[in-house]
Structure 1
Amino acid sequence: MNPRLRLLPPVEMDPEQRKLYEEITGGPRAAGPQHFALTDDGGRLLGPFNAMLLSPALGRSLQELGAALRYRTGLTARVREIAILVVAQAWDSAFERHAHERVGAAAGLTEAELLTLRQGADPELSDPVERAAWTFIRALTDRSGALGEKEYAAARAVLGERTLFELSTLAGYYGTLALQLRVFAVPAPPP
């Protein structure tokens, strides 16, 4: 399927779009190690970020939430990337999978763990926090957020309420991105 949105060159952006563009390309995503490209060679935003320019006020709020989830939670990098990759697999989101398998590898996920997460299988994580996070996110993505009392109690006992809030917010955010990527037929970059 061909992309449905034209990548917007910076020279064609209105002032609000340009401000959002600068926040994305000059924010924490651009400051740290680059595991996937935010822009193409022409400076045009890739992935979900190009669509955010359609509505800069909403796009700004969305990208700020994403930055908060990536850089201002109590989640370890491995837990965060495991959760994102479960959402990517559940939504069959090629762009999210492409981007976050690279981030996940940098966070210490092994090639075997990445493959297992890509397949939607149990990665048999030995760390109890990682295991509880994987189980929790799988339950949310497998059943549209339905979580029984026993599952909630088990997740809460290991993760605590703050982490449950952060993980459920992460699942909702990356589910939103996956939906937008699908609506606008955004392809994953070539390997």
Structure 2
Amino acid sequence: MRLPDLLPEDLDPGQRALYDDIVGGPRGVGPQHFPLTTPDGALTGPFGVMIHGPALGRPLQELGSALRYATGLTDRVREIAILTVAAATHSAFEQFAHERVARAVGLTDDELVAIADGSFSSGHRAEQTAYELCRRLLDGRTTFDDQEYADLVVVLGTETITELTVLVGYYRTLADLLAVYEVRAPQ
């Protein structure tokens, strides 16, 4: 790992405020499907990167918190979307973390394998459309003709389209941060 773990006792006031917001917020008080901190208290995954630069780390973690806990996305659609980004960006940490969350919200092992290998298919129209939208965005195909856009609106609605588009960008950013700093999934 290219960034050192920052222990709670070593944080400056800005870092400590961000740390407290992360561990004291919904990520830290809700069900723990993956470790948010190491045994000695350092933040894991993207949060361990964010803490090094709280001026950007704070808005990043707030956006991530909003995407996870304050959108209208169903739990399944949210996790399908996150894992689609993880697969496309080869983000081992996000795949590790969100496969655990996905199982907790009802995705099967077969569905997780299909997301990872790009063959996901759902009989639920909104899940399938959300998956296809995320894949399209990840493939750089961001232009929609009027009929394609109208079809998206009918199935997902504009609020969900916005939420999914922002989610793809956010998790792509996390994947880039994790790659640059060589943050891997826990062993």
TM band (smaller chain): over 0.9
TM alignment of 1:38-187, pairs within 5 A: 38-121=36-119, 123-143=120-140, 145-149=141-145, 150-187=147-184
What SS does structure 1 have at the residue aligned with 2:157?
Answer: helix
What CA distance in whole angstroms lies between the structure 1 residues aligned with 2:139 and 2:29? 34
TM-score normalized by the length of structure 2: 0.97
What CA distance in whole angstroms lies between the structure 2 residues aligned with 1:151 and 1:173? 24
Offset of 1:11 from its aligned partner?
Answer: 1.0
Offset of 1:148 from its aligned partner?
Answer: 2.3
Contact 1:79–1:130 at 8 Å: present in 2 too? yes
What SS does structure 2 have at the residue aligned with 1:4?
Answer: coil
Percent identity, aligned pairs only?
A: 53
Offset of 1:96 from its aligned partner?
Answer: 0.4
The one-character-per-residue Cα deviations of 1:58-99 (angstroms, maximum 9, x if unpaired) are 111110000000000000000000000000011000000000
Q: How many residues align?
A: 186
Unaligned stretches of 5+ in structure 2? none
Q: Partner residue of 2:7?
A: 9
Offset of 1:152 from its aligned partner?
Answer: 2.5
What CA distance in whole angstroms lies between the structure 2 residues aligned with 1:153 and 1:104? 29
Letter in structure 1 aligned against 2:47: F
What SS does structure 1 have at the residue aligned with 2:136?
Answer: helix
What CA distance in whole angstroms lies between the structure 2 residues aligned with 1:120 and 1:135? 10
Letter in structure 2 aligned against 1:97: Q
What CA distance in whole angstroms lies between the structure 1 residues aligned with 2:21 and 2:96? 23
Letter in structure 2 aligned against 1:59: G
TM-score normalized by the length of structure 1: 0.95
What CA distance in whole angstroms lies between the structure 1 residues aligned with 2:10 and 2:117? 40
The one-character-per-residue Cα deviations of 1:7-49 (angstroms, maximum 9, x if unpaired) are 1111111011011001001100011110000000000000000
Letter in structure 1 aligned against 2:143: L
* Aligned CA-pair RMSD: 1.0
What CA distance in whole angstroms lies between the structure 2 residues aligned with 1:155 and 1:107? 24
What CA distance in whole angstroms lies between the structure 2 residues aligned with 1:5 and 1:119? 30
